[in-house]
Amino acid sequence: MPIADTILDLHSFGPKWDGPPSVILHPIADANLMAKAVRVAEGFKLPVTLVWEHTETAGMFDTVAHNQGKVLVCSEFGGGTVGAHALAIYEAGVRNALIAFGLVDGNAEPPTFLNQKLSRTFETLISDELRSPTRGIFEPRCSIMEEVKKGDIIGVLRSKESLSEGTIEIYAPTSSGSCPRKWCSSAVAKAARERAVDGAVGSERLCGGHRRFPVGSGCDTNL
């Protein structure tokens, strides 16, 4: 890493996630470095660029890189599976990033995802975590990248203990767009507020209009 100026950490989301191809980065205290990181992330032109606030753990790759004044962004491609169309999106994203760096020739453009060419930037905060009220099997009622309004049912929880128990409806706390959904064993459902991020971040941390963005709206399937 000492000889690198920018690090692209390529991931596949993992088999427990269902989400759009995304580039994810974490808030950086240095405003100039943060602005550079956002520009690099947006260079992929993937459907979602997400500035994800979370509790940092000592020794994390991005923290080490940021402490050395280097840009690090992490791409999340798909949900642990791959197909011809998905692979084309991932390759296009990496190529767009290389074009942005001036390393290859060409014109960068957003790849087609869900029959749309979208490239949007958001921020999600730690305070936006929405925990599941109980253990259960989560049944989503919205699709990835679907817009929902405050009060809409985004999913229901079904008991694993008894078929006779009623379901618990989970409502959108505010207007939102559905993003990655995590199926986990800890029975925690997460939702996140996000804001459209200005790619030309200056001395201000982030700016833009308020939205909510369910980062992980599902939990504990044990199917």
Task: Delineate the domains of the chain, giving CATH numbers in brackets.
Answer: 6-212 (3.40.630.10)
Q: Average of pLDDT values for 30-43?
A: 93
Confidence (pTM):
0.72
Using the CB atoms, write b or e for 126-150: b if 16+ within 10 Å: eebbbebeebbbbebbbebbbebee
Question: Which pair of tokens denotes residue 40?
Answer: 């690099």
Stretch among 122-126, 127-131, 142-146 having the lowest mean pLDDT? 127-131
Bridge partners, 147 (sequence order) = 177
Chain centroid to Cα 63, Å, comes to: 18
Q: What is the average pLDDT across 125-146? A: 79
- Model confidence pLDDT, tens digit, residues 192-222: 344 444 333 322 222 222 333 333 333 333 2
Q: Where in 53-200 does DSSP place strands (E)?
A: 71-76, 112-113, 116-117, 120-124, 137-140, 147-148, 153-158, 168-171, 176-177, 181-182, 193-195
Share the mean pLDDT of the chain: 75
Per-residue pLDDT at 60: 83
Mean pLDDT is lowest, of 34-43, 101-110, 199-208, 214-223, for 199-208
* Lowest-confidence pick of 36-45, 70-79, 119-128, 171-180: 171-180
Sign of CA dihedral 112, 114, 117, 120: negative
pLDDT at 197: 42
- Read off the pLDDT band of 191 (50, 70, 90): very low
**pLDDT for 44 beyond 90:** yes
Average pLDDT over residues 62-82: 84
Angle at 171 between CA 167 and CA 175, to 5 degrees: 160
| pLDDT > 90 in the chain, percent | 21
Mean pLDDT, residues 147-154 taken together: 83
